Amino acid sequence: MSDLEAFRQEIRAWLEENCPPEMRQPVHDEDDICWGGRHFQFKNEAQKLWLTRCAAKGYTVPDWPQAYGGAGMSPAEAKVWREEMNRIGARPPLSSFGIWMLGPALLKFGTEEQKVHYLGQIARGEIRWCQGYSEPGSGSDLVSLQTFGEDKGDHWVVNGSKIWTSYANKADWIFCLVRTDKANKYQGISFLLFDMESAGVSTKPILLISGNSPFCETFFDNVKVPKQQIVGELNRGWDVAKYLLGHEREMISGAGGGDRLTTIGAVLNRAGLEDPLLRAELAMFDVDALAYGAMGEKFLDEIKVGKAHPAQPNMMKYAGTELNKRRYELLMAGGGSASLEWESEASDGGSRARGWLRTKANSIEGGTSEVMLNVISKRILDLPGA
Amino acid sequence: MPLYHTEDQAMLADTARQFMADEGAIAKQLRHFRDIGCKDGFGHGLWKQFAELGFTGILVSEADGGLGMGHVEAGIVLEEIGRNLTPSPFLTSAVMAASALADASAELKGRYLPGLLSGDSVFALAIDEGKKHRPERIATRAVRSGNGFSLSGTKDFVVHGSSADMLVVAARTAGADDDAEGITLFAVPRDAAGLSQDAVRLVDSSMATHLRLDNVQLDADAVIGEVDGGREVLSRVLNAGRVGAAAESVGVAQGSFDMTTTYLKQRKQFGKLIGEFQALQHRAAHLYSEIEIARAATIKAQQLLDAGSDKAELMVSVAKAKAGKAASLAVREGVQMHGGIGMTDEYDIGLYMKRDRALAEFMGDMFYHADRVAKLSGY
């Protein structure tokens, strides 16, 4: 037996013993997702147990070093972990922007002290993070951001506001882009971390077309941030931001798995598919979805060994989000008038219609599809003037 | 297994890329043999070179004198063939017929494999009946006769049929035309009495035939695999041909795309390089994504086939459909973005469009395979 095969057996046995049956069910609702954090309300004991057991082994972040709360798995081992999780339909023990976004940035740019402190908290699900990037006047043109941190010796005083801050009202800490030099556009931004309970921080949820409020406006009124809470060098936060955006795009692309990669023809067929043209559309969609699934696997394999083009996450984000929008258009069409229901019990509170509307943000958040195409043109295709 | 090439595979890719760019180039092969009106539509010299490099033995087991490699390796060669539009009988002979012969009797292997390995023989497949690929329905009959069988029926789109020394013919030995079972594959020599072929040149300058079997008498030893049990061999041959065609399509798409992006960086209009226009940039970037995804689907299908996975069947159809879709977009955008010169015979971009059309039909187009994906998924 190869080492990897032995590892697979070990993982399989551990999962068999430790993954509670409730955690092997598909995720239905938002509250089936474990986000962790100071104020997180576990839906049930199984959810809490699953997090605790995984965190103890470093399995919430399997490929992070053990010193920072991970399990230190190699790329090949991490792939085995994902495959074995998928095999039994296990839910991720912990989902968080700390894992997907801040973590990779800290691993690359953080000091040793920061890594031990913050990464450990993330891995154990103790602190829930949000991301302070977009501002009311800075959407696609992110670098024009205005939130300002005034140098006060051993700390900054931050003033300004952010928008589209995902779950800011539920987060414990924020990683935030703050202008620390007004004279330099790109090299005048710093990447700061601070507690959302700091004096002067307030949030206001934004009601979306889906009827839900996953995003907030976030306001900073003379918020004091100690100098040691900067990641990377002063005024070089854009480098960190860009690196992190790659991970954000990877996350939104769904490359790591999740329901947006799955096919839908068989699902809709069970509810009765009588329209041959709809069936044809579904078949063409399923081809694209399965092909994109292979792309996601290839992308993850390549990124682990440095074979992926550095701008490839932009392509994944573009293709993945456009695919997910198409998926929901077809789910709505397949569901017919039943998918229009907004509040009924049968529709689970209008989950399909709300989900459909939510997907429209996929190709806007984290860089619009149009921006992604610009980046591909410039950085991958090297087209002139792009 | 990670979805990228191993070191050995990357080395093979380098060899194939260099070789095909030098020896298989459009001017040297496709245009040359087209312009002299070659009745084969490809050059035997290049086919011999394929053999010298070992390409023709990629899917032949080591025990049978080949390299014992898999569909990933065959796909590496096919992608380069696609990129250079290199006309060759590689897909029909070294991929499809070789897959058929893999489980054939020692007698048949001894008769045909040496010619394949040396590059002296060319093989073709006689599967399709009618204008569209529909191998679920086989009406060509083989009835017991004397020591063997007598075959009668007609076949279409027999690529390289008139150049082939041997044709793998799918015929029905039992059941009704639409039955899944009752199929038998035969190795039919080119000079078999009662076999006639009507050769036609196709849009991409390749040659195919309409084939007629009129009481063709074959000995029992011409049977590949089991009598009435040919569906399994046929499946293997079809999977090999489909995933191979997908790889070639990815190459066609990439070749067309590279030519087009190069042009976008050279051609000026309104005082600007046309590649500066966002209308073209976004279309090029979208096309890039589609080709990348098609390549990923194709390598996934190749790996699953090589691993003998029960998911291979589904992924092969995904790959053929997706690669066909991406290549079709690549050649249409290619001609459009080249503008007027894209319509001229002098420029190669139109040749990509023609090859894509022929490859799209070969072994089932994207509609056939999307339908198959639906059926395999239970709807």
Using the predicted structure, report yes or no on whether residue B200 has a pLDDT greater than 70: yes
B275-321 tens-digit pLDDT: 999 999 999 999 999 999 999 999 999 999 999 999 999 999 999 99
When CB atoms are compared, the residue of B276, B300, B314 closest to A385 is: B276
When CB atoms are compared, the residue of A280, A282, A291 closest to B297 is: A291
Domain A3-95: which CATH number of 1.10.20, 1.10.540, 3.40.50, 1.10.3470: 1.10.540
Chain pair A-B, CB pairs under 8 angstroms: 142
Which residues of chain B neighbour A263 with C-beta distances below 8 Å?
Answer: 377
What topology is assigned to A254-380 in CATH? Butyryl-CoA Dehydrogenase, subunit A; domain 3 (1.20.140)
Phi, psi (degrees; rounded to nearest 5) at B178:
-95, 0
A180-239 tens-digit pLDDT: 999 999 999 999 999 999 999 999 999 999 998 889 999 999 999 999 999 999 999 999
The confidence score (pLDDT) of residue A190 equals 97
The confidence score (pLDDT) of residue A263 equals 85
| Cβ distance of B377 and A380 shorter than 8 Å | no
| Residue of chain B whose Cα is closest to the Cα of A378 | B281
Which residues of chain A neighbour B325 with C-beta distances below 8 Å?
Answer: 287
Task: Name which of B1, B3, B328 to mutate to probe chain A: the one with the most chain A Cβ atoms within 10 A of its Cβ.
Answer: B3
- Using DSSP, state whether B211 is helix, strand or coil: strand
Which residues of chain A neighbour B365 with C-beta distances below 8 Å?
Answer: none
d(CA B379, CA B377) in angstroms, rounded, equals: 6
Q: At a CB cut-off of 8 Å and minimum separation 6, what does B10 contact? A: none
A2-35 tens-digit pLDDT: 889 999 999 999 999 999 999 998 887 777 899 9
The confidence score (pLDDT) of residue B366 equals 98
The confidence score (pLDDT) of residue A219 equals 98
What topology is assigned to A129-239 in CATH? Butyryl-CoA Dehydrogenase, subunit A; domain 2 (2.40.110)
Note whether A318 contacts B: Cβ–Cβ < 8 A.
Answer: yes
Which residues of chain A neighbour B333 with C-beta distances below 8 Å?
Answer: none
Which residues of chain B neighbour A287 with C-beta distances below 8 Å?
Answer: 317-318, 321-322, 325, 366, 369-370, 373
d(CA A60, CA A217) in angstroms, rounded, equals: 29
CATH number of B125-229: 2.40.110.10
**Residue B1, min C-alpha distance to chain A (Å):** 8
| Cβ distance of B370 and A279 shorter than 8 Å | no
Interface of B with A (CB under 8 A): 2-4, 261, 264-265, 272-273, 275-276, 278, 281-282, 284-286, 288-289, 292-294, 296-297, 299-301, 314-315, 317-319, 321-322, 325, 366-367, 369-371, 373-374, 377-379
**CATH superfamily ID and name for B7-122:** Acyl-CoA dehydrogenase/oxidase, N-terminal domain (1.10.540.10)
Q: At a CB cut-off of 8 Å and minimum separation 6, what does A165 contact? A: A130, A131, A132, A134, A171, A174, A203, A215, A216, A217, A218
Which residues of chain A neighbour B369 with C-beta distances below 8 Å?
Answer: 287
pLDDT band at A258 (very low <50, low <70, confident <90, very high): very low
Which residues of chain B neighbour A297 with C-beta distances below 8 Å?
Answer: 3, 296, 300
| Cβ distance of A319 and B379 shorter than 8 Å | no
When CB atoms are compared, the residue of B273, B282, B378 closest to A266 is: B378
B114-137 tens-digit pLDDT: 999 999 999 999 999 999 999 999
- Going by C-alpha positions, the residue among B257, B266, B325, B292 that lies closest to residue A311 is B292
Task: Name which of B4, B249, B292 to mutate to probe chain A: the one with the most chain A Cβ atoms within 10 A of its Cβ.
Answer: B292
| Cβ distance of B285 and A292 shorter than 8 Å | no
d(CA B254, CA B257) in angstroms, rounded, equals: 5
Which residues of chain B neighbour A383 with C-beta distances below 8 Å?
Answer: 261, 264-265, 275-276, 281, 284
- Using DSSP, state whether A243 is helix, strand or coil: helix
pLDDT band at A256 (very low <50, low <70, confident <90, very high): low
pLDDT band at A259 (very low <50, low <70, confident <90, very high): very low
Which residues of chain A neighbour B264 with C-beta distances below 8 Å?
Answer: 383-384
Where are chain B's structural domains? 7-122, 125-229, 231-376
| Residue of chain B whose Cα is closest to the Cα of A277 | B371
CA A75 centroid distance within chain: 20
B69-89 tens-digit pLDDT: 999 999 999 999 999 999 999
Distance in Å from the first CA to the final CA of chain A? 51
Q: What letters, b where the CB count within 10 A reaches 16 and e where it falls short, cover B118-131? A: ebebbbbbbbbbee
The confidence score (pLDDT) of residue A250 equals 76
Pairing mode of beta strands A201-206, A215-226:
antiparallel
Quote the mean pLDDT of chain A. 92
Note whether A265 contacts B: Cβ–Cβ < 8 A.
Answer: yes
d(CA B358, CA B202) in angstroms, rounded, equals: 8
| Cβ distance of B264 and A383 shorter than 8 Å | yes
The confidence score (pLDDT) of residue A260 equals 45
When CB atoms are compared, the residue of B288, B296, B374 closest to A291 is: B296
**Residue A211, min C-alpha distance to chain B (Å):** 32
d(CA B245, CA B363) in angstroms, rounded, equals: 8
Q: What number is the average pLDDT over the span A300-315? A: 91
Where are chain A's structural domains? 3-95, 129-239, 254-380
Residue B318 has which token pair? 């995904």
Domain B231-376: which CATH number of 3.40.50.2300, 1.20.140.10, 1.10.260.40, 1.10.8.60: 1.20.140.10
What size, in residues, is chain B?
Answer: 379
Quote the mean pLDDT of chain B. 97
In contact, B297 and B323? CB cutoff 8 Å: yes
Q: Chain A, 31-50: which have a CB under 8 Å from a chain B CB?
A: none
Q: Which residue has the tokens 């035969």?
A: B186
d(CA A253, CA A300) in angstroms, rounded, equals: 12
B283-296 tens-digit pLDDT: 999 999 999 999 99
Q: What is the share, in percent, of chain B residues with pLDDT greater than 90? A: 99
Is the fold of B7-122 the same as that of B231-376? no
- The whole-model pTM stands at 0.90
Which residues of chain A neighbour B301 with C-beta distances below 8 Å?
Answer: 294
